Chains A and B, each alone.
Chain A
Amino acid sequence: MSHHHHGDEHLLGDDAPAVLLLGRPNAGKSSVYNRLTGAHAKVGNFPGVTVDILSADLPLPGSQKLARVLDLPGVYSLDVTLDPGTDEGVARSFLDRVIAEKTRAVLVQVLDASQLAAGLALTRELLARPLPLLVVLTQRDVVLAEGRLLSVEPLVKALGVPVVAINAHDPSTRATLLTAIAALVAEALPGERPAPSWSADELAHQAITDAPVVTEEALERRDRTAQLDRVLLHPVAGPVLFLGLMIGLFAAVYAVADPVSSVLDVGVQRLGGLAERLLGDGLLGSFVADGLLGGAGTVLAFLPQIVILTAAMELLDASGYLARGAFLIDGALRPFGLGGRAFVPMLTAHACAVPAIAATRIVRDPLERLTVILALPLLACSARIPTYGLVLAAFFGGRPVLQATLFVALYLSGIVASVVVSMVLRRSATRGRRLPLVLEMPAYRSPDPRAIARACWVAGKRFVRDVGTVILACGAVLWVLLHVPSPGAPADPHPTAASAMERSVGASVGRALEPITRPLGFDWRINVGLLGSFGARELMVGTLGVISGIENADEHPESLATRLRTARDSEGHPRYTTRTGVSLLVFFVFACQCMSTLAAIRRETRSWRWVGFVVVYTYALAWVAAFVASRVAGLLGLG
Chain B
Amino acid sequence: MTLRELTHHQTARIVALRVDPVEARWLRALGVAEGVAVTVLRAGPFRGPLQVRVGERTAFAIDRALAGSIDVDPAGAAE
Contacts and interface: CB of A to CB of B under 8 A. Distances in A.
B1 interface: no
A332 interface: yes
Nearest to B19: A436
Given A331-B48, A332-B45, A340-B49, A441 B56 contact: no
B46 A332 contact: yes
A80 B45 contact: no
Given A80-B22, A441-B51, A118 B31 contact: yes
B45 A331 contact: yes
A239 interface: yes
Contacts of A80: 22, 25-26, 28-29
Chief secondary structure at chain B's binding surface: mixed
Interface string A309-336: 0000000000000010011111110100
A261 interface: no
B62 A238 contact: no
A80 B17 CA distance: 15
Given A79-B25, A121-B29, A332 B58 contact: no
A437 B45 contact: no
B45 A118 contact: no
B46 A331 contact: yes
Contacts, number: 111
Contact of A330 (B22, B27, B49, B56): B49
B31 A121 contact: yes
Interface string B46-58: 1111010001111
Contacts of A437: 49, 61-63, 66
A420 to B, nearest CB: 17
Interface size class of A (residues with CB under 8 A): 35 or more
A441 B59 contact: yes
B76 interface: no
The listed residue with most B CB atoms (<10 A of its CB), out of A80, A81, A122, is A80
A80 B29 CA distance: 8
Interface in A206-264: 225-226, 229, 233, 235, 238-239
Contact of A328 (B44, B57, B63): B44
Contact of A327 (B22, B48, B55): B48
A82 B26 contact: yes
B23 A440 contact: no
Contacts of B65: 436
Given A82-B23, A331-B49, A441-B59, A229 B41 contact: yes
A56 B45 CA distance: 43
B49 A77 contact: no
Contacts of A340: 44, 48-49, 61
A72 to B, nearest CB: 16
Nearest to B50: A327
A380 interface: no
Interface in A74-129: 76-77, 79-82, 114-115, 117-118, 121-122, 125
A438 interface: yes
A76 B61 contact: no
A284 interface: no
Contacts of B18: none
A9 to B, nearest CB: 28
B51 A229 contact: yes
Contacts of B29: 76-77, 79-80, 121-122, 125
B68 to A, nearest CB: 11
A439 interface: yes
Contact of B49 (A114, A117, A238, A439): A439
Interface string B3-25: 00000000000000001001101
Interface string A408-442: 00000000000000000000000000001111110
A367 to B, nearest CB: 15
B59 to A, nearest CB: 4
A239 B55 CA distance: 27
Nearest to B29: A77
A115 B47 CA distance: 29
Given A79-B25, A121-B31, A340-B61, A330 B55 contact: no
Given A115-B57, A436-B66, A439-B61, 18 more contacts: A76-B30, A77-B26, A118-B55, A125-B29, A239-B45, A326-B61, A327-B61, A328-B44, A329-B48, A330-B48, A330-B61, A334-B48, A340-B61, A436-B19, A436-B65, A437-B49, A439-B60, A441-B51
26 contacts: A76-B26, A80-B25, A80-B28, A80-B29, A82-B22, A115-B58, A117-B31, A118-B55, A122-B29, A229-B41, A327-B49, A327-B51, A327-B61, A328-B45, A328-B48, A330-B44, A330-B61, A331-B46, A334-B48, A339-B63, A340-B44, A436-B23, A437-B66, A438-B32, A439-B60, A441-B59
Interface of A: 76-77, 79-82, 114-115, 117-118, 121-122, 125, 201, 225-226, 229, 233, 235, 238-239, 323, 326-332, 334, 339-340, 436-441
